[in-house]
A and B are shown apart, each in its own frame.
Chain A
Amino acid sequence: MYKSIADILQQAKEQKKQFWEIVLEADMESRNVSAEESLQDMEQMYDAMKDADSKYDGKLKSASGMSGGNGSLLDEYNASGKNLCGDFLGTVMARAIKMGESNACMKRIVAAPTAGSCGVLPAILISYEEYGNCSKEEMIRALYVAAGIGKVIGENASISGAYGGCQAEIGTASAMAAGALAYLQGGDNSAVVNALALALKNMLGLSCDPVGGLVEVPCVKRNSHGAVNAVASAQLALAGIKSVISPDDVIDSMRRIGNEMAPDIKETGKGGLATTESARKIFCQQEKQ
């Protein structure tokens, strides 16, 4: 079992194993299941992510009317020949927004780690499988890398916007995805943990101030930003760039910052973007209707 990122690294080193193997074995021990059972459960999660991705419907609008259709706009722009970001990143961004929109429109998704941040990880994994010609087995292993990172963050800090702000939701999702992507691209365990540390560091202090208290604005689009942050962080780590602050210290910083954040910007809908003139206008219009 592991309590920290340092634990995973140490066990991996001692047992000459990869990051994902340590996470898998801890799950087997914790739930009293075989490796096959655990791998099967994880494969089901990946299949559910792909199913949700394929069922995006750009014509849907959320009940509030604030979300829907932006994934299709990105698809169109990506296909226009003017894509600024390159094929991989363009696709990642579209997928992340689509999943966030599907969630807002009451479609079935996989919380990873939460429903509000459900777009980041699948956007990166599914796009990588498509572009990197990666085996499904490798994708499942990458999910263990991501899940192990998320579990350490959840246990040592938080994955809930109400406790830790958005850094705990999109921030955690981004750190998980960064580690998974570094692994898939051939990074060693050091690259994996540096990717997660760099990703999470860049998300520290992010508020959770959703308009109307709904998982829509700014959550849906922030999935795209969280995914881009994950790709950038993996790229830095794969180049050999190290986080000066250790991953566990970054996670502990997130916990302390979360505690210090005002309640108004922790999922209460009482501060930040939620109390702007633009936000008020949307809800006044709705009440009239």
Chain B
Amino acid sequence: MELFDIIGPVMVGPSSSHTAGAARIGFIAGKLLGEKINEAKILLYGSFMDTGKGHGTDKALVAGLLGMTPDDYRLSKSLEMAAEEGMKIEFGEAKLVDAHPNSVQMILTGESGSTIDIVGESIGGGKINIAKIDGIATNFSGEFPTLIVHNLDQPGHVSEVTSMLSHKLVNIATMQLYRDSRGGMAVMVVECDQEIPEDGINWLKKSEGVLKVTYFEGIRG
């Protein structure tokens, strides 16, 4: 626990888990899609579903999708702002099994037609965990510069990523590997202590067997 977990964060109320955490999940989901969002299907689960309205969870999630951080004073106006920007939003109830009580599933479609399906959990004090990306289990906070690589499950991709990072003098804080099946689709989540230069990301994108590379700078806890 850091000192500024006690005094802080600066956030729009009323709840660190149901409002600040929700905004953070929306923010990271938007970054993971990586382009302007045309459509968002927002499916609430557990306490997010039961008490979300009174906590402004709906507004906070949409604010995050619009790129607002939890301390953005415009957060309570996000639904109007999304309508102005032409973002189509649909709320519903998520059918998740054994999920964290404060969970949301977001299915986003971007302007180029690309989609992402994430499950985010608000785990308390404004901290969050991204628990699923496109159906594959993950586990990261979004507080660090984060690199996410979708690749075919075949040898060599981990070493491509780690050697690029070492070449760019970027230290790895955590690294996780997931796959849906042997030889199927794999996801690598790398949280770093430093930001990754753009040319490193671009180099990875061109690498054979790599299907998608997503990177964002992280949002302070």
A residues at B contact (CB < 8 Å)? 23, 26-27, 30-31, 38, 41-42, 44-45, 48, 62-64, 102-116, 118, 121, 143-144, 146-148, 150-151, 154-155, 159-160, 162, 176, 212-216, 269
Majority SS at the chain A contact face: helix
Given contacts A64-B54, A106-B59, A108-B71, are A42 and B13 in contact (CB under 8 A)? no
Please give, as numbers and ranges, the residues of chain A lying within 8 Å of B12 by CB-CB distance.
106-109
- Interface residue stretch chosen among B3-11, B108-116, B147-155: B3-11
Please give, as numbers and ranges, the residues of chain A lying within 8 Å of B13 by CB-CB distance.
102-109, 115, 118, 215
Cβ-closest chain A residue relative to B72: A108
A230 to B55, alpha carbons, bound, how many Å? 28
Query: CB distance A213 to B8 under 8 Å?
Result: no
Please give, as numbers and ranges, the residues of chain B lying within 8 Å of A64 by CB-CB distance.
54
The listed residue (A106, A108, A147) touching B6 by CB distance below 8 A is: A147
Query: CB distance A108 to B11 under 8 Å?
Result: yes
Query: CB distance A63 to B54 under 8 Å?
Result: yes
B2 CB within 8 Å of chain A: yes
A144 to B3, alpha carbons, bound, how many Å? 9
Cβ-closest chain A residue relative to B71: A108
Mark out the residues of chain B between 1 and 32 whose CB falls within 8 Å of any chain A CB in the assembled complex. Answer: 1-16, 19-20
Query: CB distance A269 to B4 under 8 Å?
Result: no
B76 CB within 8 Å of chain A: yes
Known: A62-B14, A64-B54. 7 other contacts (CB 8 A): A104-B13, A104-B14, A109-B12, A111-B8, A115-B13, A213-B47, A213-B50
The listed residue (B50, B53, B75) touching A106 by CB distance below 8 A is: B75
Give B70 Cβ to nearest chain A Cβ, in Å: 9
A159 to B126, alpha carbons, bound, how many Å? 13
A160 to B10, alpha carbons, bound, how many Å? 17
Give A46 Cβ to nearest chain B Cβ, in Å: 9
Give A195 Cβ to nearest chain B Cβ, in Å: 17
